[in-house]
Amino acid sequence: MRILSIETSCDETAVALVEAKGGLKKPRFKVLKNEVASQIEVHRPYGGVEPGLARREHIKNLPAVCGSVVREKDWKDIDAVAVTVGPGLEIALWAGIDFARELAKKHKKPLLGANHLEGHLYSPLLSLKESEKNPKLPAIGLVVSGGHTILLALESIDRWKKIGETRDDAVGEAFDKVARLLGLPYPGGPEIQKVAEKGNAESIDFPRPMIHQRNFDFSFSGLKTSVLYYLRDKKLTSKLRADVAASFQRAAIETLVWKTIKAAWAHKAKSVFLAGGVAANKLLRETLSKRAKEEGLEFYMPEFKYSTDNAAMIAVAAYMNHEKGKKYRIKAQANLNL
């Protein structure tokens, strides 16, 4: 099944063309095209994403991004159009939905709604080769993005239970807010990672929130506040900035890794899935992969380019739901969850 997919939930205008096969038994994907037009430069002066601007940029960019993915003659081989219906910024989502609806109508193709978080969760499947075995189950899934921090227990590839999530800020949001405290531009995650390379991660003992509690929830706003208090009355030198970035990054990531491994023990998991924008973080990728292997767990994560928002993962989510017979309503659902 060949799917043209569209993603506009936040500040990336993304379109992909993906060949999917194998059903729920052996889902395998070939990404034929994957284009992302980033709006980072447009939002940077505001220190975060401006919804109205995001919508305007999506509407402006969609025709060209889509045109670089699919030509008129390609449509005869396309089976469906997929679009993110949520979660995300409502008016940004509508930009993608309206565009996708027009395309589907014009080319007489079915329109499939997709859940952005399912896209992230399934993004590691994009790298599975035909010859590789399916991921081992049960699995623990850690989905970490700008808006979400969720732990899931996956019983099968299409059935899961949410076992924990953040009670306040998402971990990506904490990276973005701490970056701002350090005078670094938006988005903060990659900036903190870069600055942290020059810092000493052991120099400041920031808290590992909720690490000793017997649940799988997270809380990152206290960690951010600790950084705020630590910086108060201090002169922000480049050494201090690097040490704070490194120590904060270490605290946030150790918390994620520890809770994920504890969840894997509790649920007798055989593997761990890592996904979402924060999965682009090098320390998180390395630390969780190492810890999972030490515990005898298989570890799956998306390629770097499929960690942050993209449309290839939206095609995967749409395909999995199509195979499962699950349909999303084609309307913006800002608060959709897993």
Stretch that binds Zn ion, among 48-56, 121-129, 309-317, 326-334 (CB under 5 A): 309-317
Specify the residue, 88 or 209, whose C-beta has the smaller distance to Zn ion: 88
Q: Is 120 assigned to a binding site?
A: yes
In the chain, count H helices and then E strands: 10, 10
Q: Is 145 assigned to a binding site?
A: yes
Give the HSE-up count for residue 210: Cα atoms under 13 Å, Cβ half-sphere. 21
Q: How far is the CB of 38 from Zn ion (least distance, A)?
A: 13
Q: How far is the CB of 233 from ligand KG4 (least distance, A)?
A: 27
Q: How far is the CB of 146 from Zn ion (least distance, A)?
A: 7
Q: Is 195 assigned to a binding site?
A: no
Of 149, 308, 321, 333, the residue at the interface with ligand KG4 (CB under 6 A) is 308
Specify the residue, 145 or 333, whose C-beta has the smaller distance to Zn ion: 145
Q: How far is the CB of 160 from ligand KG4 (least distance, A)?
A: 18
Q: How far is the CB of 6 from ligand KG4 (least distance, A)?
A: 15
Mask 165-204, x = binds ligand KG4 (CB under 6 A)? -------xx-xx----------xxxx--x-----------
Q: What is the dihedral of CA 123, 152, 8, 66, to 10 degrees?
A: 20
Q: Is 107 assigned to a binding site?
A: no
Q: Is 59 exposed, middle or buried (0-12, 13-18, 19+ CB in 10 A)?
A: middle
115 touches, from ligand KG4, Zn ion, none (C-beta below 5 to 8 Å by class)? none
Confirm or reject binding of residue 309 to Zn ion (CB under 5 A): yes
Specify the residue, 11 or 243, whose C-beta has the smaller distance to ligand KG4: 11
Q: Long-range contacts of range 146-149, CB-CB < 8 Å, 24 or more positions apart?
A: 146/10, 146/170, 146/172, 146/173, 146/176, 146/187, 146/277, 147/87, 147/88, 147/172, 147/173, 148/87, 148/117, 148/276, 148/337, 149/218, 149/220, 149/256
Confirm or reject binding of residue 146 to ligand KG4 (CB under 6 A): yes
Q: Is 61 assigned to a binding site?
A: no
CA separation for the pair 281, 166 (Å, rounded): 19
Residues 6+ apart with CB under 8 A from 220: 149, 166, 168, 169, 170, 171, 173, 174, 209, 252
Q: Of 118-177, which residues contact Zn ion (CB under 5 A)?
A: 145
Q: How far is the CB of 9 from Zn ion (least distance, A)?
A: 7
Q: Is 134 assigned to a binding site?
A: no
Give the HSE-up count for residue 72: Cα atoms under 13 Å, Cβ half-sphere. 0
Total residues contacting ligand KG4 by CB under 6 A comes to: 20
Q: Which candidate, 286, 309, 315, places its Cα nearest to that of 299?
A: 286
Q: Which candidate, 227, 222, 219, 218, places its Cα nearest to that of 178?
A: 227
Q: Which candidate, 42, 1, 13, 30, places its Cα nearest to that of 309?
A: 13
CA separation for the pair 305, 308 (Å, rounded): 7
Specify the residue, 254 or 309, whose C-beta has the smaller distance to Zn ion: 309
Q: How far is the CB of 143 from ligand KG4 (least distance, A)?
A: 9
Under the rule (CB under 6 A), what is the footprint of ligand KG4?
Answer: 10, 145-147, 172-173, 175-176, 187-190, 193, 276-278, 280-281, 308-309
Note the residues at the interface with Zn ion (CB under 5 A): 145, 309
Which residues belong to the annotated binding site for substrate?
143-147, 176, 189, 281
